[in-house]
Amino acid sequence: MQFLEDTHYIKLTRAGDMQAFGTLVQKHQRLVYTLALRMLKNQEEAEEAAQDTFVKVYQSISGFEGKSKFTTWMYRVVYNECLGRLRKTKRHFSLVEDIVENSDEPVDFLDGLEILHREERAALVKKGIEMLNPAEAAALTLFYHEDQSIKEIAAITGSSESNVKVQLFRGRKHLENNLKKLGNKELIGLL
C-alpha cells in the first residue's frame, strides 16, 4: 500500500475526514505496535496500548504544531502510554546481569551468530530484546529500527541526550549478553 506524506493525512483529519486518519493509522500501526510490544512484552496489552495511543493522537491532533516530526510526537505518546501501563501494574523485570551471570559463554559468540540462518537469528534477536528492560528495549528499537537520532529519542523519552547514550550502551551490552545466553544451545551445535 502506497502512503502519502503525514501532513496530507493530518490536514484531512483536522477537516473531519476519518478515513484519512484510518490511513494514517495503517501507515504507522506496525511501528507503534512494535515499540509497544518491545516495552510491554505482551501482545494483547501492546495492541491495546497502540490503539489507545492512536486515539490520543486523534484527540490531540489539532494541537500538533509540527515543530517536531509527526513520528517523534507519536512515539512520545506511545512511550508515555506504555510507561503509564508499566507504572500502573508495577511490573518488575528480571535483571539481565542475574541471567547472564549463570550462563556459559561460548568462545566466539558474534561469529557464531553469523553462522545461524537469518530466520533463526531474527527469532533469537527478538527473544533477546524481549529480555531487556522497557527503557533499553525502546531506546534500541527507536535508534536501530526506527532510525531516530539521539536527540529525537531524548525528546520522545523525556530524558537527556547523555542518558539516552547510556541507555543505548547498556542496551547493546545487555542484548549481546542475552543473545549469548539464548544462543548457547544453537551455537554449541554449530561450532
Residue ranges that bind another protein, judged by CB under 8 A: 18, 21-22, 25-26, 29-31, 33-34, 37, 46-47, 50-52, 54-55, 58-59, 110, 113, 118, 121-122, 125-126, 129, 140-141, 144-145, 172, 175
Q: Taking the complex as a whole, how short is the minimal distance between the CB of residue 11 and another protein, in angstroms?
A: 18
Q: Taking the complex as a whole, how short is the minimal distance between the CB of residue 83 and another protein, in angstroms?
A: 19
Amino acid at 13: T
Nearer to another protein, 67 or 184 (CB): 184
The backbone region for 160, taken as left when phi is positive above 0, alpha when psi lies in -120 to 50, beta otherwise, is beta
Nearer to another protein, 92 or 118 (CB): 118
Apex 56 CA angle, 52 and 62, nearest 5: 155
User: How far is Cα 71 from Cα 190, in angstroms, rounded to an integer?
Assistant: 41
Nearer to another protein, 8 or 30 (CB): 30
Which residue has cell 495511543?
A: 53
Q: Taking the complex as a whole, how short is the minimal distance between the CB of residue 98 and another protein, in angstroms?
A: 23
Are 106 and 187 in contact by the 8 Å Cβ rule? The answer is yes
Q: Taking the complex as a whole, how short is the minimal distance between the CB of residue 117 and another protein, in angstroms?
A: 11
Q: Taking the complex as a whole, how short is the minimal distance between the CB of residue 112 and another protein, in angstroms?
A: 12
Nearer to another protein, 26 or 103 (CB): 26
Contacts made by residues 162-168, CB under 8 angstroms, sequence distance 24+: 164/139, 167/135, 167/136, 167/139, 168/139, 168/140, 168/143
Nearer to another protein, 76 or 172 (CB): 172
**Pseudo-torsion of CA 159, 160, 163, 167, nearest 10°?**
50
